[in-house]
Amino acid sequence: MLSRPGAGADGSPLVSVIMPMHNAEPFVAAAVRSVQAQTVPDWELLVVDDSSSDASLEVARRAAAADGRIRVLQNPGPRGAGPTRNVGIEAARGRYIAFLDSDDLWLPTKLERQLALFEVTGAPLVYSAYYKIDADFADDAADFVPNGRVVRAPDRLTYRDMLRQDYIGFLTAAYDTAALGKRTLPSIERRQDYALKLAILREGHVARGLSEPLALYRAGRPGSLSANKLVAARYNWHIYRHVEALPLPRAAWAFANYAVRSGLKFLI
C-alpha cells in the first residue's frame, strides 16, 4: 500500500493532474476517465479550458458534477498551452503535479508506479515510456492492447542529456513540489514544457524514468502544436540560444542531436 507523504491535513490531494483543453470534445471524456481509472485514487484533476468553441467545456463540467475530485477552470488569457497549464498549476493543491493533455490517456497504473518511483529514488522529476496511438483511437485506456509503438524512456536524465533531446513526454511527467516548489511554465510561445524540464535539471537535479509505457500519446491529431515539426525545431533553437543562452557551438551540437533523435522518434 502506498504511503501518502506530503498529503495535507486539510484533506488536500496527493497528486494534482493538470489538463489543458482546447476544442477537445471528441477526446476529453476518455482522458478524464483514464484519470478516474487510476489505481491510486488520491488525486484532483484540474481541467483548464482555453477558449474552446465546441462542447468541450460542457463535457468537462458534466464530469466535474459527477466527481468531486474534478475542477473545471478557464484560462483568462493569454491563450496557449503554457499559460493554460499555469492556471492549473497555480490552483493545484497536491504535493505532486502531473500533466495530461485532453486528447491523451493514462494507463491505470501510471500514478501508482510513479509515486513508488518518487519514494524509492527521491528524484524531484519522474517520467516514463509511452505508446503512440492513432488520432482516431476510440477506446478507453483500460481497454488498450499494446501496439509495439513505444517511445522509450532512459532510466535517468541530467541537464546534458536533455539538451541532446527532450526525452520526457510531458504526458508522463510529474514533479514534487516539496523538492522544487511550484514550477510554472516559462512565458515563451512554444515548447514551454521542454524549457521547464531544462530549467529544473539545470539546477543539478537528476530525473528518473520507468521503461514501462504508462501513457498513450495521440499522434498526428490535426491542429496539435506538435504536428508541425519544423516549427518545433525552430523553437528548440530559440530555447538553446535565448532561454538556455548556450554558446553557438554548444547550441549547434544540441540541435544536431535533437534533429537526429526527433527523426527517429517520428518513425515510431
Is residue 190 in a domain? yes
Q: In 51-64, which positions are buried (b, 16+ CB within 10 angstroms) versus exposed (e)? A: ebeeebbebbeebb
Judge whether 5 lies within some domain: no
* Radius of gyration of the chain from its Cα atoms, rounded to whole angstroms: 17
Q: Is residue 241 part of a domain?
A: no
The C-alpha atoms of residue 242 and residue 262 are separated, in whole angstroms, by: 21
Inter-residue contact 254 to 246 (CB < 8 Å): yes
Q: What is the pLDDT of residue 2?
A: 47
Where residue 217 sits, what CATH number does that domain have? 3.90.550.10
Give me the number of domains the chain comprises: 1
Residue 236 lies inside a defined structural domain of this protein: no
Q: Which three cell numbers stand for residue 129?
A: 515510456
Read off the pTM: 0.90
Domain-embedded: residue 213: yes
Residue 172 lies inside a defined structural domain of this protein = yes
pLDDT tens track for 77-116 = 889 999 999 999 999 999 999 999 999 999 999 999 999 9
Query: Which structural domain range is residue 113 located in?
Result: 15-224
Cα separation, 64 vs 148, whole angstroms: 34
Give pLDDT tens digits for 241-252. Answer: 988 889 999 989
pLDDT for residue 35 is more than 70: yes
Residue 113 lies in a domain: yes
Task: With respect to residue 256, please indicate whether it lies within any of the assigned structural domains.
Answer: no
Bigger pLDDT: 82 vs 224: 82
